[in-house]
Amino acid sequence: MDKVRRNERLAAMSKILTDSPNRIYTLSYFCDMFGAAKSTMSEDVDILKDVVSAYALGDMQTVTGAAGGVRYRPIVPMAEAYKFVDSLAQKLAVPQRVLPGGFLYLSDILSQPELVGIMGRILAGQYYKTEPDFVLTMETKGIPVAYETAKALSVPLVIARRSSKVYEGPAVNINYVSGSSGRIETMSLPRRAVTEGQRALIVDDFMKGGGTAKGMVDLMREFAVTVVGMAFVMSTAQPVKKRVDNYKVLMVMDEVADEKADSVTIKPADWLTQE
């Protein structure tokens, strides 16, 4: 009977912990749930740690201290992250995806839950240490990947809009230079969306010149929010010098000189390694 109970507990705990990544559950929470002793639950946690480690399913951690307990972080092992990004890059580097103006059709990739989930987990893995309070993105295409990153970090997503909406209340608007159009654009965020002194991680789908990213940095300054990092699914190799520094991308695309180009070259970023 005890054998079955442990099986049950482990399967249920595994589900609960992975459903709420980065959230700390106390041992007492599970003791109450399963009517088990703390020592038993400690053993269960040790088994879970071994399993998660053995099958490279992420990182199960014991957190000590008053607010201690156990938490699950869906860390993607580096070799697996490289393999995923490399295969995605190959899938994207096809002439049918090249659009006029040297753009690449990405919308389908950016809204397939299985792909976006992995992208978000890879990006989040780089920013646990920076302890962001929220993830900021600019509408629209980057929302799913920013959302998955926020989910893996267990923080809310905050979405900047192209203009302020009646149903969002008082807002702060800033102007920025869009890299792709070279035009002055507006970015808007409701006053109540964030709080002074918070820490933001910026996540977006694509960066060319970095104008939009710079806009988000400026927007955060208006709210007295610290930007702890910036992450993008793809950037272009050109221009080499972007308007922002200290960012991470998953893939880099070489310039598409000609929309009739037979192919486009996309590579995993340098920080992703095969070993």
Angle at 131 between CA 19 and CA 117, to 5 degrees: 35
Tokens 């808007």 correspond to what residue? 188
Q: What minimum distance in Å lies between the beta carbon of 116 and a copy of itself? A: 8
Q: Which is nearer to a copy of itself, 54 or 67 (CB)?
A: 54
How far is 214 from 204, CA to CA, in rounded Å? 12
Amino acid identity for residue 271 in this structure: W
Of 112 and 263, which has the nearer Cβ to a copy of itself?
112
- Residue 183, judged by CB atoms within 10 A of its CB (0-12, 13-18, 19+), counts as exposed
Of 193 and 244, CB closest to a copy of itself: 193
Q: Shortest gap between Cβ of 119 and a copy of itself (angstroms)?
A: 13
Sign of CA dihedral 133, 138, 141, 142: negative
Question: Rounded to an integer, what distance in angstroms lies between the CA atom of residue 256 and that of residue 86?
Answer: 19
Tell me how far, at minimum, the Cβ of 265 lies from a copy of itself, in Å: 18
- Minimal distance, residue 166 CB to a copy of itself, in Å: 5
Residue placing its CB nearer to a copy of itself in the complex, 35 or 270 = 35
As measured in angstroms, the least distance from the Cβ of 9 to a copy of itself is 8
Helix or strand run (H / E) with residue 151: helix 143-153
* Contacting residues toward a copy of itself, per CB under 8 A: 3-4, 6-8, 10-16, 18-20, 23, 33, 47-48, 50-52, 54-55, 57-58, 99-101, 103-108, 111-114, 116-117, 139-141, 143-144, 147, 150-151, 154, 156-159, 161, 166-169, 180, 190, 192-193, 206
Residue 124 to residue 132: CA distance in whole angstroms: 10
Are 163 and 247 spatial neighbours (Cβ–Cβ below 8 Å)? Answer: no
Minimum CB distance to a copy of itself smaller for 155 or for 250 = 155
Smallest gap, in angstroms, from Cβ of residue 70 to a copy of itself? Answer: 13
Exposure class string for 7-40: b at 16+ Cβ within 10 A, else e: eebeeebbeebeeebbebbebeebeeebebeeeb
Residue whose CB is less far from a copy of itself, 259 or 273: 259
CA triple 135-136-141, angle to 5 deg: 110
Q: Please say which residue, 65 or 101, places its beta carbon nearer to a copy of itself.
A: 101
For residue 97, the one-letter residue type is R
Task: Compute the least distance from the CB of residue 235 to a copy of itself, in Å.
Answer: 14
